A and B are shown apart, each in its own frame.
Chain A
Amino acid sequence: MSGWLILPALILGGVSVALGFGAELLVQLAEQASASVMDTGDYVEAVIGR
């Protein structure tokens, strides 16, 4: 099998490993994302200014 065929899957697998070892970064980003989901005040203010 050509290595080019399996390369994308391997890269995504590598990303999964990286996210596992570097979970703190992902969780920090997700916490920030979660904050914008839980409190929509900043979102509303940015769109309609109130």
Chain B
Amino acid sequence: MAVLEPLLPLFVGAPLLLGGVLFVVPRSHPLQVIIGFGSLLAVLGGAVAVLLATANGNVLAHQVSLWPEGIAIPFVADAFSALILVAASLVAVLSFQYMVASGESRSPFIPAMVLILIGGVSGALLTADLFNLFVFIEVMLLPSYGLLIFLSKRGDMAGTRLYVVVNLLASTLFLAGVGLIYAIQGTVNLAALAGAGDDPATAIAAAVMLAAIAVKAAVFPVHGWLTRAYAVASPAVAALFSGLHTKVAVYIVYRLSSVIFEGDPAWMTAILVIAAITLVVGAFAALGENDIRSLLLFQMVSGIGFILIGIALFTPDAVTAGIVYMVHHMVVMGSLLLTASAIEHTYGFGLLYRVAGLRTREWLVTAAFVIGALSLVGLPPFSGFVAKYALVLASAGAGQVAIGALLVIVSLFVLMAMMKIWAEVFNGKRHGDVELLPHKSDCARERVSTTPTASTPPRSRTRRPVPSNTATRPGGSTGAMETLTNIGERE
């Protein structure tokens, strides 16, 4: 245990250093991939080691350079932060593997930006200082802007601009909250602020920080940016962000609620109401979507509500269930978004009905989707069942039977959303005659005949210009969606 404590800053320092190196080394793609993979696997291995060291209740802490408290940057790892770090780094490793397989990692500086992102995530999870938390959130966001810009879908910058503006405003609000805390308490050390929420002025300052974090977590009513921004991101980036950004924000909500507010019932009730609305809005909104990714993104919003129910009830069982749900959601949303990524990469972006009948020709994709979907719904034997069952039991145990019932009802709507994808993408009739052609990046590229079918929905006959910069997909392949769009418009 004592060996690991001085190594905690390496979770931040090593990825940042290697990310910086990747910016300046010659643009050798294999070298960048090897360094990227090696670093991410090292973070994952280190996170597992920290989890093993903290699984019995130990807390690892280290003041950087052994400076005294108040000057040094404090790094702390307990079972909570270690567990989330393991899940986040696992999602990062697999998202990066997808980027390599799809050719997206060939875009400039992608491996470097992924490393800097995981460095920021590690810092945000491990720091015990509010100002450094703000800094690490910014370290997370800077490469995220780059990833969105370099890998945005069809050159769509509107969603990227929205992401940048919303996160800059939220960061400014968070920094204002940190400043207020410092003005009132004279410290921004989270441990020194334990129980400070009893003071009304400190509570309001902390509430300002929570409001900023709520924006980043995409909680109702400030959730709209996520579905718009992530919808235009590269699918792998959306999967990466789903496992890292929103979950880090939810982790911060848990941490601030417990340390500063110590589960104050008034504040927890406010979080409970917001969480309940978030999970309902996300689940309902998903039903109205006709695009795989958008549908999944609203499920992501709904999942944030599920996770927040745990901290809002603030009983040991509820917090345990919330943490289980958080880990489950990181894994399953990553799986579903990466499945959608593979579909989009092969068949192009687009509406559900455009990609149909995958069940008969893509059994691996079908298997991945079925596992992810059933788990998201909460059926046994998947992790979703454990998470939802624990959450419903904890709700009942906390005397919130209505919340437990709401969780079950919302799960039915999640089931409907998953059935919608299944019915149209996997089990639906194919639109026209799809022929898969060998692709130079070992993916497929489709050519669609213009044979109309009875099930073909009406479309606009207005020809829209396709931006010239959208002809090339990451990895050098031509986007199938453009082909589909043009064919559809010619009809």
User: Which residue in B54, B320, B342 is a CB contact (below 8 Å) of A34?
Assistant: B320
Chain B residues in 8 Å Cβ range of A32: 54-57, 79
Is B284 among interface residues, defined by CB-CB distance under 8 A?
no
Is B164 among interface residues, defined by CB-CB distance under 8 A?
no
Chain B residues in 8 Å Cβ range of A11: 94
- Docked complex Cα distance between A32 and B77 (Å): 13
User: Is there an interface contact between A13 and B368, defined as CB atoms closer than 8 Å?
Assistant: yes
User: Is there an interface contact between B332 and A5, defined as CB atoms closer than 8 Å?
Assistant: no
Report the minimal beta-carbon distance from A35 to chain B, rounded to whole angstroms.
7
- Docked complex Cα distance between A9 and B94 (Å): 8
Nearest chain A residue, comparing its CB with the CB of B336: A9
Q: Residue among A4, A8, A47 with the most chain B CB within 10 A?
A: A8
Q: Please report which residues of chain A, range 1-48, place their CB below 8 angstroms from some CB of chain B when the two chains form the complex.
A: 1-17, 19-21, 23, 26-38, 40, 42-48
User: Which residue in A4, A7, A10, A35 is a CB contact (below 8 Å) of B57?
Assistant: A35
User: Is there an interface contact between B338 and A34, defined as CB atoms closer than 8 Å?
Assistant: no
User: Is there an interface contact between B320 and A9, defined as CB atoms closer than 8 Å?
Assistant: no
User: Is there an interface contact between A30 and B83, defined as CB atoms closer than 8 Å?
Assistant: yes
Also in contact, A37 and B334, with CB within 8 A (given A5-B346, A17-B382)? no
User: Is there an interface contact between A43 and B83, defined as CB atoms closer than 8 Å?
Assistant: no
Also in contact, A20 and B383, with CB within 8 A (given A13-B371, A31-B320, A32-B55)? yes
Nearest chain B residue, comparing its CB with the CB of A42: B59
- Docked complex Cα distance between A23 and B231 (Å): 32
Nearest chain B residue, comparing its CB with the CB of A41: B194
- Docked complex Cα distance between A34 and B267 (Å): 19
Q: Please report which residues of chain B, range 377-434, place their CB below 8 angstroms from some CB of chain A when the two chains form the complex.
A: 380-386, 390
Using C-beta atoms within 8 Å of the partner chain, give the interface range for chain B: 35 or more
User: Is there an interface contact between B78 and A42, defined as CB atoms closer than 8 Å?
Assistant: yes
9-residue interface stretch from B105-113, B270-278, B323-331 = B323-331
Is B61 among interface residues, defined by CB-CB distance under 8 A?
yes
Is B131 among interface residues, defined by CB-CB distance under 8 A?
no
Chain A residues in 8 Å Cβ range of B385: 20
User: Is there an interface contact between A19 and B383, defined as CB atoms closer than 8 Å?
Assistant: yes
User: Is there an interface contact between A16 and B335, defined as CB atoms closer than 8 Å?
Assistant: yes
User: Is there an interface contact between B342 and A6, defined as CB atoms closer than 8 Å?
Assistant: yes
Chain B residues in 8 Å Cβ range of A48: 69, 189, 191-192
User: Which residue in B190, B345, B367, B444 is a CB contact (below 8 Å) of A10?
Assistant: B367
User: Is there an interface contact between A17 and B371, defined as CB atoms closer than 8 Å?
Assistant: yes
Report the minimal beta-carbon distance from B407 to chain A, rounded to whole angstroms.
17
- Docked complex Cα distance between A1 and B69 (Å): 54
Using C-beta atoms within 8 Å of the partner chain, give the interface range for chain A: 35 or more
Is B316 among interface residues, defined by CB-CB distance under 8 A?
yes
User: Is there an interface contact between B78 and A36, defined as CB atoms closer than 8 Å?
Assistant: yes
9-residue interface stretch from B31-39, B175-183, B254-262, B463-471 = B254-262
Is B10 among interface residues, defined by CB-CB distance under 8 A?
no
User: Is there an interface contact between B331 and A12, defined as CB atoms closer than 8 Å?
Assistant: yes
Give per-residue flags for B31-58: 1 if the beta carbon is below 8 A from chain A beta carbons, else 0.
Answer: 0000000000000000000010011110
Also in contact, A16 and B372, with CB within 8 A (given A31-B320, A37-B80)? yes
Chain A residues in 8 Å Cβ range of B101: 2, 4-5, 7-8
Q: Residue among B259, B311, B338, B444 with the most chain A CB within 10 A?
A: B338
Report the minimal beta-carbon distance from A38 to chain B, rounded to whole angstroms.
6
User: Is there an interface contact between B362 and A1, defined as CB atoms closer than 8 Å?
Assistant: yes
User: Is there an interface contact between B364 and A6, defined as CB atoms closer than 8 Å?
Assistant: yes
Is B217 among interface residues, defined by CB-CB distance under 8 A?
no
Chain B residues in 8 Å Cβ range of A4: 97, 101, 442
Nearest chain A residue, comparing its CB with the CB of B98: A8
User: Is there an interface contact between B381 and A17, defined as CB atoms closer than 8 Å?
Assistant: yes
Report the minimal beta-carbon distance from A10 to chain B, rounded to whole angstroms.
5
Is B365 among interface residues, defined by CB-CB distance under 8 A?
yes
User: Is there an interface contact between A3 and B364, defined as CB atoms closer than 8 Å?
Assistant: yes
User: Which residue in B80, B316, B365, B441 is a CB contact (below 8 Å) of A6?
Assistant: B365
Also in contact, A9 and B323, with CB within 8 A (given A20-B381, A29-B51)? no
User: Is there an interface contact between B342 and A5, defined as CB atoms closer than 8 Å?
Assistant: yes
Is B157 among interface residues, defined by CB-CB distance under 8 A?
no
Also in contact, A1 and B335, with CB within 8 A (given A16-B375, A29-B83)? no
User: Is there an interface contact between B316 and A38, defined as CB atoms closer than 8 Å?
Assistant: yes
Report the minimal beta-carbon distance from A26 to chain B, rounded to whole angstroms.
6
Apart from A13-B367, A34-B80, 16 more pairs, CB < 8 Å: A5-B341, A5-B443, A9-B98, A9-B341, A13-B371, A16-B328, A16-B371, A16-B375, A19-B327, A21-B381, A36-B59, A36-B78, A37-B323, A40-B258, A43-B59, A43-B259
Q: Could you list 5 examples of A-B contacts with CB < 8 Å?
A: A8-B101, A29-B55, A38-B258, A46-B191, A47-B128
